[in-house]
Amino acid sequence: MALLLTVLLLAQDAKFSGPQAGEKTAGFKVFDVGTRQDVDVIADAKGGPVLLVFIHELTRPGAALMRALDEYGQIKQARGLRTHFVSLSEDRDGAERHLPNVIKSLNLKCPMGISLDGKEGPGSYGLNREVMLTILVARENKVTANFAIVSPNETDAPKIKAAVDEILKVRGPAPTGSAEELREQVMKLQEEVASLREEIAMLRMKVEQGGRPAPRRGDMERPKEDEQLVNLCRRLIQQRAGQEQIDAAVKDIEAYIGTNDDLKKQYAAILTRVLDLKYGNEIGQAAMRKQLEKVGK
């Protein structure tokens, strides 16, 4: 009887928010703070793996968890993961003015959007305003894990990362069908291999930013590179980046470098290294070659 009462009390304390595991993720629109455009997060993912972080209320411990998930989302982007932060606010104009400062303060790289459905969020999602963060992990437009967190902090990150790792392990069925279908499956596998290479590249770049192992005897110590420049350059090696995304990345990099000769030298060194390793897709590589000619080897 005592055990039953304990279970009932725990069940009463448990908070539920958003679609549960096995339920579908309906499409919904947000105002993307970065691109300043209305986008459908679910439609853009096209059934691929998604990590959605609905922000009911932002606290300092919750911000620490968001930073951890943002960093993880950047690394796993090479595996096809799309990470989105969605702010729930009744005051859209105020949120538009406030969120850029939040993004800058937390140094977030994954997209941040404002729900067009106001503080309640998408109607079909049934989000609970009593929790501070509702985090959904989904694939093929279906929730695989749900985390309704009343008091979020960085210690919640491992279980969320584990749920993401599970959906990234999922592979398609064994090759079957016509020659055309087999070719499509081969292309998908090749893209996955390229994505894994990109993930390795991003991890290497992160190691080089700090905590890099001591060079071997005879190796030359590489000068420490500007962290913001390295982060900006990562956008050039995204496997799924199109011409518009690459052009935007180049524009941001050039604006950041300006007339700083030291940053220009670092940029040239990064471009040379990345091109030698053949990171990124054809669009990104073409843009990087042009940039290298511009800044000089």
Q: What is the pLDDT of residue 78?
A: 79
Q: What is the pLDDT of residue 147?
A: 96
Q: What is the pLDDT of residue 181?
A: 64
Domain 11-169 in CATH 1.10.10.10: no
Taking the chain (297 residues) in consecutive chunks of 10 residues, what is each chunk's mean pLDDT?
Answer: 41 72 94 91 92 94 94 87 94 91 90 93 92 95 95 94 89 57 65 64 62 42 71 82 88 89 89 82 89 81
pTM of the model: 0.59
CA distance 166 to 176: 24
Q: What is the pLDDT of residue 196?
A: 64
- Could you give the angle at the alpha carbon of 131 between the alpha carbons of 125 and 132, nearest 5°? 105
Q: What is the pLDDT of residue 211?
A: 47
- 35-55: burial string, b at 16+ Cβ within 10 Å, e else: eeeebebbeebeebbbbbbbb
